[in-house]
Amino acid sequence: MPTSSLPSFSQLRAFVALCDHQHFGEAATALGVSQPSLSQAITALEKRVGGELVERTTRRVLVTPLGETLLPYAREAVLSAEAFREAVTNQGAALTGSMRLGIIPTLAPYLAPILLDGLMDALPQMKPELRELVTGDILDLLGQGRLDAAIISLEEEEVHRSTAVPMFDEPLVVLVSADHPWAGREDLRPEELETQSVLLLDEGNCLREQTLALCQRYGSQPPLAVATTLSTVIRMVAHGSGITVIPEGALRMLPPQEEYAVVRFEGRGPVRHMNLVHRTSSSRGAEFKQLAEVITDLVCKAGLPMMPIES
C-alpha cells in the first residue's frame, strides 16, 4: 500500500536519474552516490508509492508501467528544485553561471566559435557549455534537464514541453560540382530539384528533413541518404555524385578550391528557422529571450547570412 508521506528530493532525483541512464552504475556515477545508496533510495520510493517502479535485470534497468506514469511528475519536481537552487545561487541576476547549450551539427562548426568568443564579452558572468547534438538528442536532454537551452532549426513540428524563441532565418542554397550546368545560377526554382540526384544526410539531422520537405513538395525522384556528416556529402558533390542543399552559413567552412559551385534560389528562397529552445516549465523564460537577442546580434555582427523571420 502506498504511504501518505511525500517522497524526498533525493528519492525523486535517484528515480529520474535511473530512468534516464537505465543502469544503476551509470546513474550512481552521475549523481555522485554509491550504488547501494541509489538502490536504497529507489526501494524506499517504491514502498511510498506501493508498487515497482523499475524492473532490475542483469544487464539494464527497465521502467515499469507505473514508473512510466510517475516519471513525468518526478522529473518536473526535480527540475523545479534545481531551478530554485539556481535562483538562490544567482540571487536574481540574469544570465549568470553555467549555461548548458545544445547546438545542431549543421550549425555548430561556424556558429560555436562566434558564441564562445562573443558570449564571453557580452555576458561575462555566464559560462557557456556547448554540446553539439542532433535535434532528437537535444530535445531528449532538454526534457531531462541535462541541457538548459538549445539552438535548433524548427519548421512546423511540435516540440513537446518546450518553448521556441525565434531568432533568425538562414537561407538555404544548393551546392553542385564546379562543372554542373547550374553553377553560378541565382534564379533556381525549387521545383527544378526534381530533375537532379539530391544527396542527403542520414536520419536524425534536421537539415535532412528540411531538404526532404523541399524535394517531396515538388518532385517525384526521392533524394538519397549518403552520409552522417555534411563534409562527406560535400565531397560526394565535388565528385559529381549529385547535388545537395546546405545552409548558406556552411559555405564559409568549405575548403578554398574550385571543385564546388553555389546555386541560389530566386527571390527570398527556402530558409531554415533558427530558434532558441528551452523547457516551458523553466522560470528563466525572460533570460532565454534575452539570450536569443544576444545570439542574434552576434550572428549579425559576425556577418553570417541571416534574414528577419517573416510572420
CATH number at residue 21: 1.10.10.10
The confidence score (pLDDT) of residue 204 equals: 64
User: What is the pTM for the complete model shown?
Assistant: 0.76
In a domain, 213, yes or no: yes
Q: Are residues 182 and 248 in the same domain?
A: yes
Query: How many domains are contained in the chain?
Result: 3
Per-residue pLDDT of 225-242, as tens digits, reads 666 677 888 888 888 888
CATH number at residue 118: 3.40.190.10
Which DSSP letter does residue 202 get?
Answer: -
Q: Are residues 143 and 236 in the same domain?
A: no
Q: Are residues 60 and 114 in the same domain?
A: no
Q: Nearest Cα to 172, choosing from 209, 203, 136? A: 209
Q: Are residues 198 and 291 in the same domain?
A: no
306, 169 Cβ separation under 8 angstroms: yes
Fill in the amino acid letter for 311.
S
Segments forming the whole domain that contains residue 294: 93-168+273-302
- Report long-range pairs for 213-218 (Cβ below 8 Å, ≥24 apart): 213/155, 214/172, 214/190, 214/245, 214/270, 217/190, 218/190, 218/191, 218/193, 218/194
pLDDT tier, 217 (very low <50, low <70, confident <90, very high otherwise): low
Per-residue pLDDT of 173-194, as tens digits, reads 999 998 999 998 999 998 888 8
